[in-house]
Structure 1
Amino acid sequence: MPIDGLLLNKLIREAQIFEGEKIRNIYQPVNDEVLLQLQSGFLLFVLKNPSYLIKLESKPNMPDTPQNFSMFLRKKIKNAKIIKIEQLGLDRIGYIELSVIDETFELRNYKLYFELMGRNSNILLIDEENKIMDALKKGVSPKRSIMPGAKYIPFYKREYINILENENLYDLNQPFMGFSKISKNLFYEYIEKYDYISFVSEFLDNLNVYTFEYNGKKEILAFKPVNFKYDEFQNPSEGLLNFFELQSMNSRFLELKKRLEKTVIKEIEKYERLYKKLKNEEKEIREIPDLEKKGRLLQAYLYQFKEKTDFVVVEDWETGEKIKINLNPLKTPNENLQVIFKKVHKLKSKEIHLKERIKITKKMIDYLYQLWQSIDFVEDIETLMEIKEEMIQEKILQDKTKNKRRKRSNSKPYEFEFNGFKIFVGKNNIQNDKITREADREDIWMHAQGIPGAHVIIKTNKKEVPMEVLLFGAKLAAKYSKGRYSSKVSIDYTMKKYVWKPKGSKPGMVLYNNFKTLYVEPI
């Protein structure tokens, strides 16, 4: 929901506590924000989507170099006295009336208008003649000009109905001033349950705002959403900070998850290309005996061939068969022979390391798919930050805070209880390693067979684990694996004492033996 005129009304009424105070300084924390430092607090204008103003107790971080618009405002209205802060009707427009002594020691009366219209938001300084002195965003449109010297025309529709002044509200299609689609619907729900007089009385009587869930999204409203469960805040700035903190956390979570997922997919593609290349080289290795034989035959019959040619046919003295040897027609037979011997030597040298490289690459691909699986399943920012930390440690992700001390996340695994047995499920590779490492030797360890998935630990307390508990644990292992959408998943299980982590292996990667297998449907 955009910040509507009703919510802005309460934010402005809250900001009116600054009336009579002087502006000590003006800042731009970022390009589309303007911060007024007053005698008893701060007033921040956010001029992007969503746009709003908010009262702050402390100053946020500031850039080292002030921006041009804040420098202009400092020159014109620093030390100005705030006469009043007003809203135009119930629209998303308002102004701060200012009185200041200018550089010529003349008393000036200015208005600092703020238009909080999403991406079209702006803040403008207007002189006594209603002319624009400057604006954060300048431009010319068919309806008005936002340029220094132009007459200021507010982006304000007087024909819209102000519900605080008009009781004739029975047509839902009427254009209401300052309402979003959601707040308009909820307004009619309110007056249907109570009445118009109650709405106006309660709205003007307090500054309360409410956050609630609406169609799966967190919303904020300037009046009580009567048919929804809500959280109530007695001042709008507090409610708005809470609302945006939740939004910011969710946005940060989704943005980070998308970035980590994109990085892992890119790594998987890179290593799969490498694996394909190595497997092709492995095919060439298999050609060594054939190449050696052709080299020996060409060497034996070399005296017969002097001219350049694209192939020669010789007799294999072991089988008596005719063998065709393809040559490079730009080289002599002797030069072709040297090329064959060099290729054989190169392939033999490569053969020593190739099998190990294929093995390492395959393990890396398996690990990356496991990592991707962890990112796909993650539900909270703490677990995601652990995955990010793991990716930095494994040099999959670049560490941009090398000279800073990073705060380590410490999330917890899923914990279940079934028939008196505790069951732990790792949310990521770090947790998988931790719950497996900390498990007792007789605890049951479970994992989906041959596919990425979580480690599952059933705490036995040295008791025999009934089959129904094993099946429940196996279903959890299936749910938190790549096979979660399959009808049946093979789940291996064994005692923890038969699980070990090879030296130098990646996080979450283990080996195990003495296992049994259950075939279950994911929960």
Structure 2
Amino acid sequence: GRIIDSIKRVGQEMSSVRMVLPGAQYTLPPREQRLNLMECTKEEFLAKIAENPTAELSKAIMKTLEGISPVFAREAVFFAARGAEITAEQLSGDTADRLWFYFSKVRDSINDGTNVYTVLKTKEGNLKDFCFCDITQYGALMVTKSFESPSVLLDYFYAERDSLSRIKQKANDLFKLLINTSERTQRRVQNQREELKECKDREKYRIYGDLITSNLYALEKGMAYAEVQDFYDENCPTVKIPLDKRLTPTQNAQKYYKEYRKLDTAEKKLTVLIAEGEQEVKYLDSVFDSLTRAQTEGDIAELREELFQEGYVKRSKFKGKPPKALPPIRYRSSDGYEIRVGRNNKQNDRLTCKEAEKTDLWLHVKDITGSHVIVTCDGEMPPDRTIEEAAIIAACNSKGRNSSRVDVDYTFIRNVKKPNGSKPGMVIFTNNYTITVKPDTELEEKLRV
């Protein structure tokens, strides 16, 4: 019962309640006296919770009952107060009855073995919390997954969390690269757009050159400006054109022509550069979206290889074979149609351009980044239910998975083409229809093979 030593020593000057020093008598840490949910009565509970009248009710419950987590305390208050936030002193009448009814119901389900063990996930798939009962307080903001036993729940929760944490660490440098490169590209495109605005005045310089040339007989070297009639305007107004005193009238005209040609060439080049920059931002956005949905180290390795081939990263120094990437995600619609989804841009290209038949149906979210979705249908338009389910799958595997509504384009593979020299995953398509769906991760998970 004597303390041999401790990592952290606590003397009397630090705590008068419990000293932790070599040779001292060991005692258990002090604990607050709390009630057991499975044994206490309603009267005991209400009397104990009244000791913290000004505290928020969920926090007062945690101080009153033994072993209660914040999410369970909030769920109890959510049920009792019907979504309102109240303090402990406001707990009375019907609210108190509903709260005790909730505790009694949970107590009975635990005794009967009918309670469910619940894991909470955000819509992005991040693990949030877990509990020994059903959780409804978050509504549609969270996704729940039920388990039959606490052991299975905890195995799933911590294994999944470790896997996600490991993948996030592996992909951390790619996230930073993509964010920085995308921001840099967007700034460059914005600067090019500003330069393009300046090119809109180029016609003015050509007109100045023409007007000076047509009035050479009235001009001479040393003049500061030329007042001439603008015959390009039907009213022929008089315009005042600045001149360089050091140049002859002909040289001034050539100077304006040169400025016109310069701006005309700049406009053509800037238009191409801006289009290329916008495509690059879309491409980087698509890689970022694929990275957020990566499930294995193999997925990350394939994305890293794709970025290497596009010149964004150097070859990895990893020796040996990289982890094997997973095949396309497979689903089965309620009508029995096979649905395949690409995990990244390279896989999207393989799936759409090589593996799918010309008679298969192709889907993609409208105007935002996402995976290519293929429905094997042998040239016949699938039933409406299958098209809707495939569109929901496309929405869930895209940047719009957290939106309330997503537009999804669909057409047959024969109408989808990949332009020469385009970025991975980039295609053009014609003869398409559009369907609007609500992303449903529960349905997406249910249809997954």
TM over 0.5: same fold? Answer: yes
Determine which of 278, 299, 302 is the counterpart of 1:362.
278
What amino acid does structure 1 have at the position aligned with 2:219?
A: Q
Partners of 1:493 and 1:517 within 8 A in 2: yes
Distance 1:346 1:521 in 2: 50
Partner of 2:104: none
2:222/2:244 contact within 8 Å kept: no
Matching residue of 1:293: 207
Q: 1: CA distance between counterparts of 2:392 and 2:209? A: 59
Query: Aligned to 1:506, which of 420, 423, 429?
Result: 423
Q: Secondary structure at the match of 1:398?
A: coil
Matched with 1:260 is 174
1:472 aligned counterpart, secondary structure: helix
Pairwise mapping of residues 69-468 of structure 1 onto structure 2 (< 5 A)?
Answer: 89=4, 91-92=6-7, 159-160=19-20, 166=26, 169=28, 171-172=30-31, 229=151, 247=162, 250-301=164-215, 304-307=219-222, 309=224, 311-318=225-232, 319=234, 320-326=236-242, 336-351=252-267, 353-401=269-317, 407=322, 409-419=324-334, 420-436=336-352, 437-460=354-377, 465-468=382-385
Alignment check: 8 A CA contact 1:386 1:411 kept: no
Alpha-carbon distance in 2 for matches of 1:277, 1:429: 28
Say what the alpha-carbon RMSD is for the aligned residues. 4.3
Q: Deviations over 1:272-305 (max 9, x none)?
A: 2333344344444443332111012234445535
Question: Offset at 1:161?
Answer: 8.2
Higher helix share: 2
**2:277 & 2:400 partners in 1: Cα distance?**
23
**SS state of the match for residue 181, structure 2?**
helix
Query: Which amino acid is 2:183 matched to?
Result: E
Matches of 1:324 and 1:501, distance apart in 2: 53
Correspondent of 1:476 among 389, 393, 409: 393
| 1:92 to partner: Cα distance | 4.3
Give distance in 2, aligned partners of 1:216 and 1:521.
23
Which protein has the larger Cα radius of gyration, Structure 1 or Structure 2? Answer: 1
- Output one character per residue of 1:184-206: Cα deviation in whole Å (capped at 9) or x when no partner: xxxx98xxxxxxxxxxxxxxxxx
Q: 1:453 to 1:250 in 2, by over 3 A?
A: closer
1:519 maps onto 2:424 in alignment: no
Gaps of 5+ in 2: 12-17, 33-65, 68-118, 121-126, 131-148, 441-449
Q: Distance in 2 between matches of 1:401 and 1:305?
A: 70
Report the equivalent of 2:81: none
Contact 2:363 2:373 in 1 (8 A): yes
Aligned mates of 1:400, 1:338 — CA distance in 2: 55
Cα shift readout 1:132-166 (whole Å, capped 9, x = no counterpart): xxxxxxxxxxx9xxxxxxxxxxxxxx94289xx85
Structure 1 unaligned residues grouped into runs of 5+: 1-87, 94-114, 116-142, 144-157, 174-187, 190-212, 219-226, 233-242
Shift of 1:342: 2.1
CA distance in 2, matches of 1:467, 1:245: 35
**Shift of the alpha carbon at 1:375?**
2.2
- 1:452 deviation in Å? 1.1
Contact 1:446 1:455 in 2 (8 A): yes
Structure 2: how far apart are the matches of 1:276 and 1:479? Answer: 31
The TM-score normalised by the length of structure 2 is: 0.59
- Give SS of 2:176's match: helix
Shift of 1:335: 5.9
Report the equivalent of 1:150. none
Give the structure-1-normalised TM-score.
Answer: 0.51
Q: CA deviation at 1:389?
A: 1.5
> Separation in 2 of the partners of 1:259 and 1:308?
62
Aligned-residue offset at 1:323:
1.5
**Higher RCO (C-alpha 8 Å, min separation 6):** 2
| Shift in Å, 1:364 | 2.0
CA–CA distance in structure 2, aligned partners of residues 467 and 451 of structure 1: 23
Measure how far apart 1:354 and its partner are. Answer: 4.2
Residue identity opposite 1:276 in structure 2: Q
Q: Which amino acid aligns with 1:346?
A: K
SS at match of 2:255: helix
C-alpha deviation, 1:361, in angstroms: 2.7
SS in 1 for 2:240: strand
Please give the secondary structure, in 2, of the residue aligned with 1:416. strand
- CA–CA separation in structure 1 for the residues paired with 2:344 and 2:210: 56
Report if aligned partners of 1:308, 1:331 keep a CA contact under 8 Å in 2.
no
Distance 1:230 1:451, change over 3 A: closer
1:490 aligns with 2:407: yes
Name whichever of 285-294 and 325-334 sits farther off. 325-334
- The aligned amino acid for 2:377 is T
The letter for the 2-side match of 1:458 is V
Task: Give the 3 Å change call, closer, same or farther, for CA 496–343 of structure 1 in structure 2.
Answer: same
1:491 touches 1:518 (CA, 8 Å); kept in 2? yes
* 8 Å Cα contact 2:349/2:425 also seen in 1: yes
Question: 2: distance between equivalents of 1:473 and 1:246?
Answer: 29
Identity of aligned residues (%): 29
Q: How many residues align?
A: 319
Helix, strand or coil at the partner of 1:287: helix
1:147 corresponding residue in structure 2: none
Quote the offset at 1:461 in angstroms: 5.3
Deviation digits for residues 210-235 of structure 1 (CA, Å, limit 9, x no counterpart): xxx999699xxxxxxxx952899xxx
